[in-house]
Amino acid sequence: MKKYSLPPLPYAYNALEPVISAEIMTLHHTKHHQAYVNGANAALERLEKQRKGENPENIRGILRDLSFNLSGHKLHSVFWPNMAPPGKGGGAPGGAIADQINKDFGSFENFKKQFSDAAKNVEAVGWAILTYDAESETLVIYQVEKQNFMHPPDLPLLLTLDVWEHAYYLQYKNDRGAYVDKWWEVVNWDDVDKRFTKAKG
Ligand SMILES: [Fe+2]
């Protein structure tokens, strides 16, 4: 089986400053994301051993670990390219995603407010996510608590915002709201638009 591996960042660790510090980006990528990659690989090894009768542990614990770590890996793998250095990132979206946002939310400002509210109000730690449901032909915002998709929905991740404390605490302390408000300056709308276009088919 091919192992999961840590994808490289599409920019330097200090590239998102002053919005997100190099220290946060370095720890977040090399420690936290790496830990999810390792955790997903370890859980799969435990499952493999169980299939061979070499691991008597309860499968429920293994699957929980797999879900937690693999979801963490997948979410972070979208989170990094969802961002770009200030100047390149930020501003308002263009292209098809801009039209869809206007159609579904009335305006970009309305969308930004609702997405920010979702991120700021995640209970404890988790994620705000923008997805597109091709069945209802609409953009959908949702929250993830921790990162445990116990049942992964068949919806693509277009835009993900990590609101675990490791994503902002070293710079913004307990002020998640300030981090979320500032984060818009590094959103890579070209990347979001690419994901949206693919999701629409
Ligand atoms: Fe994270």
The pTM score is: 0.96
Taking CA atoms, 162 is separated from 21, 53, 84, in Å, by 15, 38, 15
Give a three-class secondary structure readout of 138-170: EEEEEEEECCCCCCCCCCCEEEEEECCHHHCHH
Note down the domain range covering 69. 22-79
What residues flank ion ligand 1 with Cβ within 5 A?
Answer: 162, 164
Q: Domain for residue 156, yes or no?
A: yes
**174 CA to middle of ligand 1, Å?**
16
Three-state DSSP class for residue 128: strand
Distance 126 CA to ligand 1 centre (A): 8
Q: Is the dihedral of CA 60, 64, 67, 73 positive or negative?
A: negative
One domain for residues 75 and 126: no
In the block, which residue shows the tokens 């830990």? Answer: 35
pLDDT per position in the chain (201 positions), as tens? 899 999 999 999 999 999 999 999 999 999 999 999 999 999 999 999 999 999 999 999 999 999 999 999 999 999 999 999 999 999 999 999 999 999 999 999 999 999 999 999 999 999 999 999 999 999 999 999 988 765 557 889 999 999 999 999 999 999 999 999 999 999 999 999 999 999 998
The verdict on 100 and 47 lying in the same domain is no
How far is ligand 1, taken at its centre, from the CA of residue 17, in Å?
Answer: 17
The last residue of a domain, from among 55, 79, 103: 79
Q: Do 119 and 44 share a structural domain?
A: no
Residues 106, 159 within the same domain: yes
Taking the C-alpha atoms of residue 161 and residue 75, their distance in angstroms, rounded to an integer, is 9
Q: Tell how far the Cα of 167 is from the centroid of ligand 1, in angstroms.
A: 6
